[in-house]
């Protein structure tokens, strides 16, 4: 989420089990990794290594992996990402301040189902997000990030 959130920063998150949220475009949310956050080719390699017992018995628990990303698509939205990094939601360009709005040159288009969100990191050139693992269902969202609280000198509202 660089430049807005850096590694080792701390954020205040209000869980959706405390307050029933309706998440909106631009909200920053914390969520559990998708069911399979590993690219298929890597997943096949790992499964083959497991057969030969070449990796440890401690398997990765996707449920324990937590990400923080920005919502750029809500249930029912049509998302289109141009090669220049522009994001269109239902044919309207989405503009988010303080975001590295570049892309790796790939075009992308998807229609979200009910209960699905499309999440992208603010550092678009170097972000493992919905462009790789697809939409996230609402049951995997933990809550909304409101404030960057550490380091104290960088305290700020994340929803400005």
| Residue 16 φ/ψ, nearest 5 degrees | -75, -10
- Find which of 41-50, 51-60, 62-71, 114-123 is predicted with most confidence, using mean pLDDT: 114-123
pLDDT band at 79 (very low <50, low <70, confident <90, very high): very high
pLDDT at 112: 96
Q: What is the DSSP letter of 34?
A: P
Question: Are 27 and 144 within 8 A, CB to CB?
Answer: yes
pLDDT band at 99 (very low <50, low <70, confident <90, very high): low
Chain centroid offset of residue 5 CA: 13
d(Cα 13, Cα 11) in Å, to the nearest integer? 6
Joined together, the tokens standing for residue 14 give 């209000």
Between 18 and 27, the higher pLDDT residue: 27
Q: Where are the beta strands (DSSP E) in the chain?
A: 10-15, 28-32, 66-73, 78-81, 87-89, 92-94, 108-111, 116-120, 136-137, 141-150, 156-157
Q: Is the pLDDT confidence value at 122 over 90?
A: no
pTM: 0.75
pLDDT at 108: 82
pLDDT at 52: 43
The CATH architecture that domain 10-35+67-157 belongs to is: Ribbon (2.10)
d(Cα 159, Cα 117) in Å, to the nearest integer? 18
Q: Is the pLDDT confidence value at 58 over 60?
A: no
The structural domains of the chain, with segments of one domain joined by +, span: 10-35+67-157
Q: Is the pLDDT confidence value at 64 over 90?
A: no
The residue whose two tokens read 């954020």 is 11
Share of the chain above pLDDT 70, in %: 72
Mean pLDDT over 21-43 rounds to 73
By mean pLDDT, which of 90-94, 101-105, 116-120, 150-154 is the weakest? 101-105
Residues 6+ apart with CB under 8 A from 152: none
């Amino acid at each position: 989420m660089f430049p807005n959130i850096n590694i080792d920063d701390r954020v205040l998150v209000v869980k959706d089990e405390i307050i029933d949220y309706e998440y909106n475009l631009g909200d920053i949310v914390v969520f559990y990794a998708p069911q399979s956050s590993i690219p298929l080719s890597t997943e096949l390699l790992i499964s083959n290594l497991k057969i030969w017992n070449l990796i440890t018995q401690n398997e990765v628990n996707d449920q324990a992996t937590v990400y923080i990303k920005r919502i750029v698509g809500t249930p029912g939205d049509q998302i289109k990402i141009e090669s220049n990094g522009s994001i269109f939601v239902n044919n309207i360009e989405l503009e988010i301040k303080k975001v590295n709005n570049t892309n790796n040159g790939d075009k992308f288009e998807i229609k979200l189902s009910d209960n699905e969100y499309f999440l992208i990191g603010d550092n678009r050139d170097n972000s493992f997000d919905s462009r790789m693992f697809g939409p996230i269902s609402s049951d995997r969202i933990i809550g909304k990030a409101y404030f960057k609280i550490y380091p104290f000198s960088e305290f700020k509202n994340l929803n400005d």
